[in-house]
């Protein structure tokens, strides 16, 4: 029987606290409170429109309000359908991402890697991306989805050959004196063509740089690159490179476009490196109750509201997967009991803002599930939902006490998953599921999804190649 000495956490907070129960005198179980009632799905969105007015500069950083994109939809949400679809699409995203990784890793062993053109930004399902922010582009405000899994920022552009419905006006470059097209023969255009695998020719139209990005779910955007003033609150930077999308298709849910927070030099983070040091962070809110979170661009940690000290883990460097954020997961514990598994990290786990549910190798997932069930007993089980196979009927409980789940990374860093990230609330309390799932192949790379990142400050330092975590109650103010 594994022996685990529980470390008494140094903090207490309103939504979660710990207590220690002696368990047969040889190990301890750590618990958190899961508020069933508070996380009941509500229809909170609807009449605000899509623009989030809030952003501000504080010390050396920009702070943008971040919301769930359900905030943009005026339709009444059918939770049953929405959640099933969300999980199905999450599965598609993970499958296309893992495919992309397999191709990249295998291309290494081939003789002529230069002949294998893999579009860097393709093969990622976008529909699961939920978090939106508003920035200024030229003189307009644009609400965009944030994505750490892609690089190019783009918005729909007038005149549009084919645009999906968005709330608010489409960006119109001809109304802006600060907008300039990128020339086809520029180095920026060449670097775009390298990153998207789009080998556009300059002979036909040397005055523009065409781009195409295909996402794995059939969504795409194409148009030309331009530069424009980008503003956050009252701070403006000129010559921000973005895609002016003339042909866009996808379920982008009423937003203007997408903000790429990946690692290549066209991403927002690389382009703002001189002002903000190549560092950004977010606090992803619980979406069930319409809470706000924040996206912070810049490295001034005094603007965070973290409740625990920030701990940094080194990113795993893998030249073949240089666009991904990869960490070294060393162990997982449930209720303070370490899982006995040798292949927890398998040489690297991906952290992604667009995958919803964390995926673990089958052996690791099975160990996690078994330990969780052992410590969370006495509740009737409920049918599984899509990729989630461990569900409970918690009807009639206002709150329940659940085992903690902690992931440990190299450099002694702990991600203590928030109670709102351990159980997945379906339409109501009669089906509440363990919010983790199994990969189909033991050798695939594990992925830390956004559900398990809730109420954490997650800091991406692309210059020092490290990722930081600290507990935070997400809010914008
Ligand atoms: C954009 O948002 C800012 C901040 O709320 C506001 O002051 C400004 O008037 C908005 N601009 C437009 C064109 O709507
Ligand atoms: C790009 O083409 C323009 C003319 O279209 C030319 O003036 C410029 O010198 C070229 N720049 C480079 C880097 O070749
Ligand atoms: C990106 O990097 C390439 C070379 O790797 C360079 O030619 C290009 O100018 C860079 N683009 C930006 C926007 O910095
Ligand atoms: C932006 O606004 C903040 C306060 O909201 C102020 O301290 C700062 O000086 C302003 N910056 C500029 C460039 O106007
Ligand atoms: C992960 O960390 C462990 C323990 O520090 C180390 O032995 C291992 O080599 C690391 N793995 C990678 C892929 O960096
Ligand atoms: C869940 O439990 C409640 C009361 O314990 C019961 O009335 C209800 O039928 C159960 N729901 C399902 C879907 O099993
Ligand atoms: C960001 O801040 C952290 C903590 O203060 C520091 O360790 C790190 O070096 C900084 N990163 C950059 C790129 O300045």
Name the most confidently modeled range: 95-109, 188-202, 351-365. 351-365
**Any bridge partners for residue 12, and if so which?**
none
Please tell me the least confidently modeled range out of 34-48, 170-184, 320-334, 444-458. 34-48
The catalytic position among 68, 90, 147, 444 is 147
> Ligand nearest 51 Cα, by number?
1
Task: Give the pLDDT of residue 49.
Answer: 64
Q: Assess whether 352 carries a catalytic annotation.
A: yes
Is the predicted pLDDT of residue 423 greater than 90, yes or no?
Answer: yes
In 25-122, alpha helices (H): 79-107
Number of Cβ atoms within 10 Å of the Cβ of 368:
23
Residue 396: per-residue pLDDT: 93
Give, in order, the Cα–Cα distances in Å from 75 to each of 44, 49, 90, 425, 459.
11, 12, 22, 21, 34
The DSSP secondary structure of 291-349, one letter per residue, reads: --EEEEES--GGG---SS--EEEEBPP-GGGTTS-EE-EEEEEETTEEP--TTSSTT-E
Q: State pLDDT tens for residues 239-253.
A: 999 999 999 998 677
> Among 451, 416, 422, 441, which Cα is nearest to 363's?
441
Instruction: Quote the DSSP letter at residue 476.
Output: -
| Residue 279, preceding peptide bond in cis (omega within 30° of 0) | no
Domain pair 20-41+304-471 / 55-77+126-287, same fold: yes
**Distance from residue 241's CA to the centre of ligand 1 (Å):** 21
What letter does residue 450 receive in the DSSP assignment?
G
Residue range 415-426: mean pLDDT, rounded: 93
Three-state DSSP at 273 gives helix
Winning range, highest mean pLDDT, from 13-22, 338-347, 410-419? 410-419
Quote the mean pLDDT of the chain: 83
Whole-angstrom Cα distance, residue 124 to residue 470? 28
Tokens of 165: 């419905």
Is the CB of 301 inside a 6 Å radius of any atom of ligand 7? yes
Per-residue pLDDT reduced to its tens digit, 158-208: 999 999 988 889 999 999 999 999 998 898 888 876 666 565 667 778 889
Mutate to test the pocket of ligand 2, among 181, 185, 191 (most ligand atoms within 8 A of CB): 185
The candidate with the shortest Cα–Cα distance to 286, out of 133, 146, 475, is: 475
Instruction: State the pLDDT at residue 8.
Output: 34
CATH assignment of 55-77+126-287, given 3.30.565.10, 3.40.190.10, 3.40.50.300, 2.40.70.10?
A: 2.40.70.10
Domain ranges of the chain: 20-41+304-471, 55-77+126-287
pLDDT at 457: 96
Strand partners, 446: 349
Q: Is the pLDDT of residue 358 over 90?
A: yes
- pTM here is 0.88
CB under 6 Å to ligand 5: residues?
316, 328, 330, 347-348, 410
| Distance (Å) from CA 336 to ligand 5 centroid | 22
Q: How far apart are the first and last CA of the chain?
A: 46
Ligand 7 centroid from CA 56, angstroms:
21
> Which tokens hold the place of 59?
């010390």
357 CA from centroid of ligand 4 (Å): 39
Q: Do 259 and 69 form a contact (C-beta atoms < 8 A)? A: no
Mapped to the 3 state alphabet, what secondary structure does 253-269 carry? CECCEEEECCCCCCCHH
Task: List the beta strands (DSSP E) in 162-292.
Answer: 180-181, 210-214, 220-232, 235-249, 257-260, 279-283
102 versus 172: the higher-pLDDT residue is 172
Name which of 22-36, 59-73, 175-189, 236-250 the model is least confident about. 22-36
Q: How many CB atoms lie within 10 A of CB 154?
A: 25
Q: Give yes or no for residue 275 CB within 6 A of ligand 4.
A: no
The arrangement of secondary structure in 20-41+304-471, i.e. its CATH architecture, is Beta Barrel (2.40)
């Amino acid at each position: 029987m594994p022996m685990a000495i529980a470390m008494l956490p140094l903090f207490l907070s309103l939504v979660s606290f710990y207590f220690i129960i002696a368990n047969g005198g040889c190990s301890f179980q750590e618990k958190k409170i899961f508020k069933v009632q508070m996380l009941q799905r509500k229809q909170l969105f609807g009449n605000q429109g899509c623009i989030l007015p809030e952003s501000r500069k504080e010390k050396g950083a920009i702070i943008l309000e971040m919301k769930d994109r359900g905030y943009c939809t005026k339709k009444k949400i059918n939770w049953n359908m929405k959640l099933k679809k969300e999980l199905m699409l999450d599965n598609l995203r993970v499958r296309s991402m893992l495919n992309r990784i397999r191709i990249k890793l295998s291309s290494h062993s081939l003789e002529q890697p230069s002949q294998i053109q893999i579009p860097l930004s393709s093969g990622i399902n976008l529909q699961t991306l939920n978090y939106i922010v508003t920035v200024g582009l030229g003189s307009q405000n644009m609400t965009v989805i944030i994505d750490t899994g892609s690089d190019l920022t783009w918005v729909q552009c007038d005149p549009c050959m084919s645009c999906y419905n968005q709330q608010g006006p489409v960006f119109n470059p001809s109304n802006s004196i600060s907008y300039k097209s990128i020339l086809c023969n520029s180095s920026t255009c060449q670097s775009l063509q390298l990153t998207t695998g789009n080998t556009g020719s300059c002979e036909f139209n040397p005055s523009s740089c065409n781009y195409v990005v295909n996402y794995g779910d059939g969504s795409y955007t194409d148009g030309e690159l331009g530069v424009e003033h980008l503003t956050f609150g009252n701070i403006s930077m000129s010559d921000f490179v973005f895609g002016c999308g003339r042909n866009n298709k996808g379920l982008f849910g009423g937003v203007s476009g997408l903000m790429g927070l990946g690692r290549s030099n066209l991403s927002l983070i690389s382009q703002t490196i001189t002002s903000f040091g190549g560092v950004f962070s977010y606090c992803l809110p619980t979406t069930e109750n319409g809470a706000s979170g924040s996206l912070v661009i810049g490295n001034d940690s005094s603007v965070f509201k973290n409740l625990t000290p920030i701990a940094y883990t080194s990113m795993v460097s893998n030249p073949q997967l240089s666009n991904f954020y990869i960490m070294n997961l060393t162990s997982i514990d449930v209720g303070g009991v370490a899982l006995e598994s040798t292949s927890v990290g398998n040489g690297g786990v991906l952290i992604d803002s667009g995958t919803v549910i964390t995926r673990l190798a089958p052996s690791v997932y099975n160990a996690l599930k078994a330990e969780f069930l052992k410590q969370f007993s006495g509740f009737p089980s409920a049918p599984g939902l899509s990729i989630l196979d461990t569900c409970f009927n918690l009807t009639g409980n206002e709150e329940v006490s659940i085992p903690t789940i902690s992931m440990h990374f190299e450099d002694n860093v702990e991600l203590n998953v928030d109670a709102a990230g351990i159980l997945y609330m379906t339409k109501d309390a009669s089906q509440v599921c363990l919010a983790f799932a199994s990969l189909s192949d033991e050798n695939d790379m594990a992925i830390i999804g956004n559900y398990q990142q809730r109420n954490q400050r997650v800091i991406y330092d692309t210059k020092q190649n490290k990722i930081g975590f600290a507990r935070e109650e997400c809010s914008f103010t």
